[in-house]
Amino acid sequence: MDNINFTSLREISRRIHARDLTSRELIETLLRHIKQHNPRINAICIIDAEGALKQASEADAALARGESTGALHGIPFTVKDTFATKVMRTSFASPLLRSHVPDFDATMVERLKKAGGILLGKTNLPMFAFDWQSTFWGRTNNPYNENHVVGGSSGGSAAALAAGFTPLEIGSDIGGSLRIPAHYCGVVGFRPTERSLSDFGHITPPGSPKMLRSMITVGPMARNVDDAKMLLELLWGYDDRMWQNPPVPLQNTLTVADVPLKGLRIAYSSTIGERKVSRDTERVFSTLLVRLREQGCTLIEKAPADLDTKRATDDALDVWGRLMTMESLTEIPAMIPKSLIAPFLAAFHYANFRGGSASLVKGLFQSPRGFAHVLDRRDAIVQATERFFDEVDIWLTPTAAHAAFPHVRMGTPLKIDGATIPYTEAHAPFACTTVLQATPIVTVPIGMSSDGLPISVSVHGKRWQDWRLLTIAEQIEKLGTGFVPPAGCLE
């Protein structure tokens, strides 16, 4: 079989529907590949090989009768272990729920199945989905270099895609949890307009109220932008179980001919908030800017909500941290007084995030009135960003300060070209501040570091113009390397 492990999702769909490839052949090939490589990468933490093969045979029989369930007919997929999966263990990254089995599917899982997808397994993540490393079901290693991290919290998702274990994934993002892993593993991660996709069934521990209502966004992950577009069409749409998810139609008729690169007004920031980035990141980003100029783009060095300044970036991080901890407190059981749990969490945040812990700690002790003021501050950021995108087509930024870093204990300072920076500084200024804007963001691999690790660019667009953004990003993808299969997973 011609390297089906790294074939695009759209091509797999075409071949299955043309009956050039059976679902069972595909899944058997993936299972052999997973058996060979997952023990050293540890991206997939839960797998149902027997169930997937049974469904594959049924899908093949249906297609032989001329029956197709949709674009994903007979195609296997994996999802992050924060999504409820019916009859398959779902931990929600909680030590108390390692053996929990939901009786329903999250909306995103349900829609993939409705399109004909076959759930193969679940992917690894950090405990409580709160870190930029994935270690809950054991450490996940980067397919390009096993001594390096895969990112988090959708780290297992990105690693499974990069390693060729699955042709599609669904991740989630509140502080770069989808984009950072995509960057570290050289795949495409798409954080759509906030509230555009339903997160029903995501992080839903039994008996707990819904947490994280302000910033959390679920989204597709794939190995190229075209596959992400294919998934977005399947996932988009109103869900009556999540009324906050408005019934806005997906404007999916635009093509490259409608929004060519030539003539686009592209804002860019070589860093965010005056933070240091690696020489490799500077090199790859600068090379992309040169190629965009050659394509006839107008480049403007400018950032929304003044994120080119340290002051505005620090203020945005303060807003993010306060919202994050205020809303995550809802997960704490009611019988535990806040006066007892808040100091414990404050100590945890300080021990693990040090310099980035101040806003997280402030959120723990915030009053309801203070919370409302923080929401007002976020409103101002969204409004400023809306005005910004009235003047430019997209905004380009690095996704993080550097390529994937070596495995370390959470909170350990990191190195950029020999200089030490706080653990949070490599990610939070780039990923947490941009969450607040509520805009669609796609992370696209465009180059490699000097030591062979992927480097991506993040392409930001105006709210509710998700398809337009992806259509532009699809062209930017072609100016760089795109996805490059890790050498160690090709055999």
Contact 411, 352 (CB under 8 A): yes
Distance (Å, whole) CA 319 – CA 82: 25
Question: pLDDT tens-digit profile of 67-87?
Answer: 999 999 999 999 999 999 999
Q: pLDDT value at position 197? A: 97
For the chain, which residues make up each domain, given as ranges?
4-253, 265-448
CA 77, chain centre distance (Å): 16
Kindly tell me the number of DSSP H helices and DSSP E strands found in the chain: 14, 13
Q: Pick the closest to residue 168 from 242, 249, 234 (CA basis).
A: 234
Q: What pairing do the DSSP bridges indicate for beta strands 118-123 and 44-47?
A: antiparallel
Distance (Å, whole) CA 174 – CA 177: 6
Please state the three-class secondary structure of 180-223 as a single string: HHHHHHCCEEEECCCCCCCCCCECCCCCCCCCCCCCCEEEEEEC
Question: pLDDT tens-digit profile of 264-285?
Answer: 999 999 999 999 999 999 999 9
Whether CATH 3.90.1300.10 fits 4-253 = yes
Unique residue bearing structure tokens 């980003």? 285
Q: pLDDT value at position 426? A: 93
Q: pLDDT value at position 350? A: 56
Structure tokens at 480: 């760089």
Catalytic residue among 94, 172, 177, 357: 177
DSSP output for 10-27: HHHHHHHHTTSS-HHHHH
Give 231's Cβ-side CA count (13 Å radius): 32
Distance (Å, whole) CA 402 – CA 417: 9
Q: Model-level pTM greater than 0.85? A: yes
Structure tokens at 128: 């409580």
| DSSP code of residue 406 | B
Q: pLDDT value at position 325? A: 82
| DSSP code of residue 426 | G
Q: pLDDT value at position 364? A: 75
Catalogue the E-assigned strands of 281-334: 298-301
Q: pLDDT value at position 335? A: 57
177 belongs to the catalytic site = yes
Task: Tell me phi and psi for residue 191, to 5 degrees.
Answer: -95, 105
The segments of the chain whose pLDDT lies below 50 read 1
Catalytic residue among 80, 122, 229, 462: 80
Catalytic residue among 23, 153, 269, 359: 153
Q: pLDDT value at position 374? A: 94
CA 7, chain centre distance (Å): 21
Q: pLDDT value at position 471? A: 98
Looking at residue 80, its amino acid is: K
80 belongs to the catalytic site = yes
